[in-house]
Chain A
Amino acid sequence: MSPKVPIEKQIRMALNGDEAVAYAVKQSLVDVVAAYPITPQTIIVEKFSEFVANGEVHTEFVPVESEHSALSAIVGAAAAGARAFTATASQGLALMWEILYIASALRLPMVLAIVNRALSAPINIHCDHSDAMGMRDAGWIQLFVENSQEAYDTTIQAFKISEDPNVLLPVTVNLDGFVLSHTLEDVHMLPDEVVHEFLGGYRRVSKTYVDYLGKEIEVKLDPANPLTFGPLDLYDYYFEHKIPQVEAMKKAKDVVKRVHEEWYELSGRRYGDGVLDAYGVEDADVVVTVLGSTAGTVRYVAKKLRSKGLKVGVVRIRLFRPFPFEEIRKILKGVKVVGVMDRAISFGSYGPSFLEISAALYDLKNRPLLVNYVYGLGGRDVPPVLIERMYQELIGIAKEGEVKEVLRFLGVRG
């Protein structure tokens, strides 16, 4: 199928991941951007400031004094009916933590680009996923991208997913710090008008019925229809207010797939089914799951091993929240061993995606063996030789039929 905008008509630029996100935001008719700089997100903010200073966007840029204020300002802007965006990493995300829950519970659409970076202490500016994993309970949709091209594509898709009337949840787009944010890549962008049409123009606000107004009104701060955002709940209503978030998450997965498919029709680009991107799993005995840019390295090693006749595969998890339990169950059903790679760890437990995948596979009659590989913390490099070693271990486990050590650390000295 040929895309609506053939590759020759797309705008080709050499961009790093941060710049790709900035260009995506530029095209997305965003009304308010409030951000505080933190390595490795700084280029997003700097690039976008250039667009604003040159009058290339109508966006109001608010150089806030902290990340907490950044997300607070974005929540205020979204409540006022604006399309809003911010970006952060690591400590900045940790500082925003209390507001993340509020943004989700108020069902306000917004996009947060997280340039994944390790959490202190010790302070480390390099890539790992511990920052994003710390917010997995907050009620945000979490997407992880593999390269700068996908960062561009996904940031635009994120606005559409977020504002979908069946979703109305904030969305994060996660890209690996330095690995993606600071490395140049060949990025193809769609023309402005195509992106505008894809998003339906400016933000449209969803409606709801409020008894004291006696009619359906737009959910925004509107002097024509006074609404109260952020009330106090006692024990008689809080629980009921959480269920709509659960229901929205249930619907979000299909919206992510649908928006991903629409983008494919426009651009010719897709990443698996939008939720999982699998390679070599049809006949695999051993499969590795992974998030983010490391998937590229894993796929490279898998290809090499497959050419030698070894039945290995790799699944990149693109959508982490809501977690695609059914899709994981389906794709890993007949596999003998699954190596779950996590670039974060929940101290006192396992890596985050290991816990999710365990839950997904629990009900299967013949469950695959699961091994958790925590890797790359603090930006520790993951060269192909390490991945190959992991695959060989997994193949050995498949032969032996048992896992002696579930939690392993890939690439640490000692």
Chain B
Amino acid sequence: MIKSEKRVIKEPRRWYELPLSALPYKLSTEYKTGGWRAFRPVVDLNKCVRCMLCWLFCPENAIIWDGKDIKVNYDYCKGCGICANECPVKAINMVPEGGGSS
């Protein structure tokens, strides 16, 4: 549901409620791909040397650098494990989503 000039447009929209030229009107950040994963990365900040390679190689831009620490945005992480594979100090562990042994 989005608000547009006091009228709330229900999704999915009718043809006359769509922008011209079939232009998409939502950013994909509204679509949380975090539900895809079977494993989630867990960062050990004590081992982490802040090399930024996990940030660089994450295909989802789900690794966030806040100036001090590396954090995972679990809204989008698909659990591919590239970050864990590339970390030079093995500071990232892939843990099964929802508990259980790996």
Tell me the A residues contacting B by CB distance below 8 Å. Answer: 105-108, 168, 206, 208-212, 219, 227-231, 233, 236-237, 239-241, 243-244
Q: Which A residues touch B19, using CB under 8 A?
A: 208-210
* Given A228-B23, A229-B23, A243-B15; 15 other pairs, CB 8 A cutoff: A108-B21, A168-B21, A208-B19, A208-B23, A210-B23, A210-B25, A211-B2, A211-B26, A212-B27, A229-B21, A229-B22, A237-B12, A240-B14, A240-B15, A240-B18
State how many angstroms separate the Cβ of A232 from the closest Cβ of chain B.
9
Bound together, the chains give a CA A171 to CA B35 distance in angstroms of: 46
B26 touches A231 (CB 8 A): no
Q: How many A-B residue pairs have CB under 8 A?
A: 57
State how many angstroms separate the Cβ of A105 from the closest Cβ of chain B.
7
Closest to A236 in B: B12
State how many angstroms separate the Cβ of A78 from the closest Cβ of chain B.
10
Whether A107 touches B21, Cβ cut-off 8 Å, given contacts A209-B4, A211-B2, A212-B26, is yes
B25 touches A106 (CB 8 A): no
Q: Which A residues touch B21, using CB under 8 A?
A: 106-108, 168, 208, 219, 229
State how many angstroms separate the Cβ of B99 from the closest Cβ of chain A.
34
Which of B2, B16, B21 is most buried by chain A, counting CB atoms within 10 A of its CB?
Answer: B21
A107 touches B20 (CB 8 A): yes
- For B22, give its contact among A105, A209, A211, A212 (CB under 8 Å): A105
Bound together, the chains give a CA A236 to CA B11 distance in angstroms of: 11
7 tightest A-B contacts by CB?
A: A208-B20, A240-B15, A243-B15, A211-B25, A107-B21, A208-B19, A212-B27
Bound together, the chains give a CA A230 to CA B13 distance in angstroms of: 18
What are 20 pairs between A and B in contact, CB < 8 Å?
A: A106-B22, A107-B21, A108-B21, A209-B4, A209-B19, A211-B26, A212-B26, A219-B20, A219-B23, A227-B23, A228-B24, A229-B21, A229-B23, A230-B22, A231-B22, A231-B24, A240-B14, A240-B15, A240-B18, A241-B18
